Amino acid sequence: MVLNIGPQHPSTHGVLRLRLVLDGERIERAEPVIGYMHRGAEKLFEARDYRQIVMLANRHDWLSAFSNELGVVLAVERMLGMEVPERAVWTRTLLAELNRVLNHLMFLGSYPLELGGITPVFHAFREREELQNVMEEVSGGRMHYMFNRVGGLKEDLPAGWTGRARGAVAAVRSRMDVYDRLVLGNEIFRGRTRGVGVLSAEAVHAYGVSGPIARASGVDFDLRRDEPYLAYGELGDVLKVVTRQDGDCLARFECLLEQTHNALDLADACLDRIADLPQGPVNQRLPKVLKAPEGHTYAWTENPLGINGYYLVSKGEKTPYRLKLRSASYNNIQALAELLPGTLVADMVAILGSLFFVVGDIDK
């Protein structure tokens, strides 16, 4: 029997369709069918100047908006050979880690919900509000921050903001044991996820899977450590690359949870460093018409869901000749074709939810 899961909205991840070939309750073949949310972002990049494309790049993974902006401005700055003020570098690093916590909290709450546990998502949204408030105060946006600029940031941090940010980080950290105890300590959750949907390290490499999903399968790779950008090169003593060897749904959740703890530590380290920095500019002065020199470059960052890359080709105009996006979710979701055959339909939801994807990031 052929069964279509979707294309209705299965959860909060977006409009995805799975075409399953079943033998009774067991899945024989699975095909992710994508494209229901396609908005042609890569083509639109070619008709916008380098200031405007930040707004478009912001939106494909709506849970990682700040990190999405970051890759674009890093690519353009590299083409221009531009140095960003130190204050902007550390502030970018801080906001990227706060954005990582916001992203992970959504999945830490929604994944148990998909398995029948309703309580964690209420906790997740409470903690998200703490961080959303400080992100909104600094940028003016709750989801799409538009705070990065080529050459730095839109503006400096508001007076007293670092203290409020430190308080929000402390408040979230103090309540993270909800996921350690309430979720990981739940025998039903462990029964539904342990040994289910095992993804091998070989499959990770074959499909280009990255982020917490890859590290849960023992692939020890994180751009923040292995090819440092922003201020991560100076945070080696705080940054912890979380890995597991089992590669199952439980391992993926554990990686996500432990990485959230580490992101809070990194945010505190950035706040400490920003407090020691002298006052100064957070951006570079730009010409009225910004043109990148002719050439090409590739900028990639360790986004919350995995590797996010922008391949920029310039012909010396004020708009990109080509800007190709390599999103994390697109590669990660392809692994479903490998994971689902041989499993039960009841386990399909557990596996699907553990891949932590955003469909806008697939249909970019």
**Could you read off the pLDDT of 280-312 as tens digits, one per residue?**
999 999 999 999 999 999 999 999 999 999 999
Mean pLDDT of 136-149: 92
Q: Which amino acid would we find at residue 345?
A: V
Which residue in 168, 153, 180, 13 sits closest to 98, CA to CA? 168
The yes-or-no verdict on residue 12 having pLDDT over 70 is no
The answer to the question of residue 308 being in a domain is yes
Domain that holds residue 78: 41-363
Count of domains forming the chain: 1
Mean pLDDT of 304-328: 94
- Helix H or strand E segment including 247: none
Across the chain, mean pLDDT equals 92
- What is the per-residue pLDDT for 292? 92
Chain mean position to CA 127? 17
Cα–Cα distances in angstroms (integers) from residue 132 to residues 101, 159, 240, in the given order: 10, 18, 24
Residue 242 · residue 259 · CB < 8 Å: yes
Which residue in 176, 175, 259 sits closest to 210, CA to CA? 259
Residue 133 · residue 165 · CB < 8 Å: no
Mean pLDDT of 177-206: 93
The answer to the question of residue 26 being in a domain is no
Q: The pTM is what?
A: 0.94
d(CA 168, CA 221): 29
- What is the per-residue pLDDT for 4? 87
The answer to the question of residue 136 being in a domain is yes
d(CA 236, CA 213): 22
DSSP 181: I
